[in-house]
Amino acid sequence: MKTDRFGNPSAEALPYARGAILTSTEDDFRKLQQAGRIIRRRIGENGPEAIFNFTGLEHGLPLSGEDVPFAHDELAPALYTERLRRLTLEHLGGSPDRHDVMLFNRLTAATLATHLVLVKPGAVVIGVSASHSHPSVIRAAAHVGARLVDTKGVEEFTAVMEREREVALVVLTRLAVTYEALSVEALQQIVRLAHERDILVYADEAGGARVGPAILEQPRMLELGVNLGATGLDKYGTRGPRVGLMAGEKQLVARIRARAWEFGLEARPLLYPAVIRSLEAYTPERVQALVDSTKQVAAALRALLGSRIHETPVIAELPADDILELVLERAGLSATPQAPIVPYEAAAALAMLLLRDYGILAVHFAALPPGTADFLFKFMPPDTVERFGGPAAFAQAIDASLHKLAGLVTQPEHIRQLLFG
């Protein structure tokens, strides 16, 4: 069983441990309610400029005034479906004669619907990425009664493929939760090995659908030869809304579409105009600008926090284990054998302090529960960084909040009050 640096075992279907404060998804929701109260108060006092969206995500609704009359569940499909299909296939590298598209209410819904249709109870699903699959993949496999074997890289994947006989699906993640990426050679080899055994490949392309081509100079999703895949439209160069955009072989998409509508997993068609606006506005140059801005912030953070700031080719992160270790050191407790909170709770507390004191909205608040406990600095809009005061000002806010957390870390009841109000 995987444990963190403090010996805490990971919670079920999560890559981090839960503690005595944030014990469940219900507690995560209470934490989000407290964040909402802080946001409401700051906006009430100083307007929307009091919040700085540093989640790296776009959860808005990019509708134009002329679209509003047609943002309707019956009108929008009649008017926008063909345009939506064309733009999606262009975005994801598909062919109109082979591929079709489907819009889900979340990327998680696309992954779940795929498992509901393609995976039978007792079958094996193999996840493969540069580190580990997203919790949504783990939950989807468990929900349909399958056994998930998660693999890291081509060598592990190959070994598992040789061992496992009843494989129903391969879930390929180009850009992992840790923002480590598979090479194009690895991607092509994984797809080839799966198809040699007539195993379908689903690409969990959360942000990889854009980071791969725009930053890593890799092919678009369907050009990799996968059977189908989905991406989030709130991630890295697109401007929302938060929906899951699927594209793949026509017959597969048709079956998955039907099941999605049966279970209410589809996105409401009234969102079609907003999806079209988002796809039309996308450019690879926007992704490159976001990555460049993030690298400037990472340099400022490294100047204050040193090697605790980890970097990948596209993001920077402060691991949750390092957050807790750092605040314990600053509190003079580096030799403490038993930390009073777990790393995930330390990261949550840091996020809440940043929101309360600086109006910084961190990616920690963007998922329920978060897919990682680590504190991610990713795809930071240059204009928002400038409005905050620049990379150095942002790094100083992180450092000051770590100092404040050091004053709270020995008092779990104060952490509880910070997180829940």
Q: What is the pLDDT of residues 61-97, one digit of tens each?
A: 999 889 999 999 999 999 999 999 999 999 999 999 9
pLDDT of residue 105: 96
Backbone angles phi, psi at 56, to 5 degrees: 80, 5
Q: Which fold has domain 25-54+284-420?
A: Aspartate Aminotransferase, domain 1 (3.90.1150)
pLDDT of residue 307: 96
Closest listed residue to residue 201, CA positions, set 217, 177, 182: 182
Domain boundaries defined on the chain: 25-54+284-420, 74-267
Q: Do the first three CATH levels of 25-54+284-420 and 74-267 match, i.e. the same topology? A: no
Q: What average pLDDT does range 201-227 have in this prediction?
A: 97
Burial of 45 (0-12, 13-18, 19+ CB in 10 A): exposed
- pLDDT at residue 136 above 60? yes
Q: What average pLDDT does range 255-284 have in this prediction?
A: 97
For tokens 């009091």, the residue is: 50
- pLDDT at residue 335 above 70? no
Q: What average pLDDT does range 337-362 have in this prediction?
A: 94
pLDDT of residue 128: 98
Q: Is 201 in contact with 172 (CB distance < 8 Å)?
A: yes
H-helix or E-strand spanning residue 209: helix 208-215
- pLDDT at residue 134 above 60? yes
Half-sphere exposure in the Cβ direction for 408 (13 Å, CA): 23
Q: What average pLDDT does range 239-249 have in this prediction?
A: 96
- pLDDT at residue 337 above 90? no
Q: What average pLDDT does range 149-155 have in this prediction?
A: 97
Query: pLDDT confidence of 112, banded at 50, 70, 90?
Result: very high
What mean pLDDT value characterizes the chain?
Answer: 96
Q: Is 264 in contact with 112 (CB distance < 8 Å)?
A: no
Q: Is 338 in contact with 355 (CB distance < 8 Å)?
A: no
Q: Please tell us whether the domain made up of 74-267 is placed in CATH 3.40.50.2300.
A: no
DSSP state of 238: -
H-helix or E-strand spanning residue 100: strand 99-104
Whole-angstrom distance, CA of residue 85 vs CA of residue 97: 12
pLDDT of residue 336: 60
The string of DSSP letters for 322-363 reads HHHHHHHHHTT-TT-SS-SS-HHHHHHHHHHHHHHHH-EEEG
For tokens 């393609």, the residue is: 118
